[in-house]
Amino acid sequence: MHIICLKEYLERAVVIAERLCGKNSTLKILQCFLLSVHENKIEIIATDLEQSVRFTVPGKIQQEGMVVVPAHLFTQFIQHRPTGEKIELTIKQKTLNIRTPASHITLQTLPTEEFPIIPTVSEKASVYAFPTQTLLRGIAHTVPFTAFSDAKPEITGVFLKYQPPTLTFVATDTFRLGVYEDHKNNNTNDKGFSCIVPVRAAQEFIRIYANEQGQCSLFITPQQLFFHSENVEFLTRLIEGNYPPYETVIPKEKKTTLVFPKKELTNQLLSVGVFAGRLQDVSITPNTQQQRVSLQTKHEGVGAGEAQLSARVNGEEYTTFFNLKYLLDGLQQCDAAEVVWWLNGATAPSLIQQNPATESATVFRYVLMPIRM
């Protein structure tokens, strides 16, 4: 094997791929990359047996070949080279030689036959294609709300559902529910699908594809999901089981309607949140006559905070308590300048979303349970 690559092309691939290496694995081979040069392609491959990634890196190929190298050492060396530097890689007697104009190092390699076989796309896989940025937005808006529960593995991932033309992303930890819908996704495959993507795979997808544009193809089988774009392939196992019927949790009843500027609501919550107590609770009290909402926090032995926020208020008046962090998490994912918050009493779920009067191809809805005080 003999190739020449620019430092920045190698760096982007190895930094992301190293995250997938099984750093805590007792198998040394899982702590390595497979560097494969064949069919005029330079590929960097990493896996932890649950997920795998394959980057195609541009470069000059002098001779094809394969080599398995320690991921951490290789990545560290590449990261510390100056931008724009050419890096030359050659193999000699089971040793990888890495040369730059100013340096030379050698790395001992491992047998390539010990590296796990990476699954290929099944002929029976269902195939879809979506804009990469659409997938990124949907996953990023919902992945913060996934649960960490051995008892309910179905909610430890992002539920992905396609019912043409709507692509839906859902996540919940039973205290809150995030739903992101994109309503303009016509596809050559109009059969629709649903699957549960593990939370770690969802997080890795964001890191891997953050700078990717264009289309991303999805190849789906009952057990696996392949993401494929021009230069990157990402494979993950899927979570088996049926996702809970989340639609039944979204409130249909709306006893009280509050309409806020998102930025003002967020800033007021942050200011009174300084005095949130042990439960991180904040009370919400609407006033229809004055068209304002009172936000209050109290921490025994420390202090208390109160803020009055102008809003369009309609419906019943009562005081409801919410977890401050969960409330701010949901507001952060609302892209609109103005949000609507529907309250349904001290024990029923509430719903936050962008103002329905604002036309948009995408909708984010956030269901938040009150705290029982």
Whether the CA torsion 137, 141, 142, 148 is positive or negative: it is positive
Q: What is the largest CA-CA distance in the chain?
A: 83
- Name which of 294, 318, 314, 317 is nearest 306 in CA terms: 294
Considering the domain delimited by 126-247, tell me its CATH architecture: Roll (3.10)
> For the chain, where do the domains classified as CATH 3.10.150.10 start and end?
2-114, 126-247, 250-368
What pTM was computed for the model? 0.92
> Tell me, which fold does domain 2-114 have in CATH?
DNA Polymerase III; Chain A, domain 2 (3.10.150)
- Supply the pLDDT for residue 93: 85
Which residues face 218 on adjacent strands?
A: 128, 227
Give the C-alpha separation, 282 to 280, whole Å: 7
Q: Residue 227 belongs to what H/E stretch? A: strand 224-228
- Superfamily (CATH H level) for 250-368: DNA Polymerase III, subunit A, domain 2 (3.10.150.10)
Helices (H), the chain: 7-20, 71-79, 132-142, 199-209, 262-272, 324-333
Residue 211, number of CB atoms within 10 A of its CB: 9
- Supply the pLDDT for residue 61: 95
CB crowding 2-29: b at 16 or more within 10 Å, else e: bbebbbebbbbbbebbbbbbbeeeeeeb
Contact 157, 196 (CB under 8 A): yes
Residue 296's contacts (CB-CB under 8 Å, 6 or more residues apart) are: 272, 282, 283, 285, 304, 305, 306, 307
- Supply the pLDDT for residue 24: 65
**HEC readout, 321-373:** EEEHHHHHHHHHHCCCCEEEEEECCCCCCEEEEECCCCCCCEEEEEEECCCCC
- Supply the pLDDT for residue 215: 92
- Supply the pLDDT for residue 317: 94
pLDDT per residue of the chain (373 residues) written in tens, 0 to 9: 999 999 999 999 999 999 888 666 778 999 999 999 998 899 999 999 999 999 999 999 999 999 999 999 999 999 999 999 999 999 988 899 999 999 999 999 999 999 999 988 888 888 999 999 999 999 999 999 999 887 899 999 999 999 988 999 999 999 999 999 998 877 767 788 999 999 999 999 999 999 888 999 999 999 999 999 988 999 999 999 999 999 999 999 899 999 999 999 999 999 999 999 888 899 999 999 999 999 999 988 889 999 999 999 999 999 999 999 999 999 999 998 999 999 999 899 999 998 887 777 899 999 999 998 7
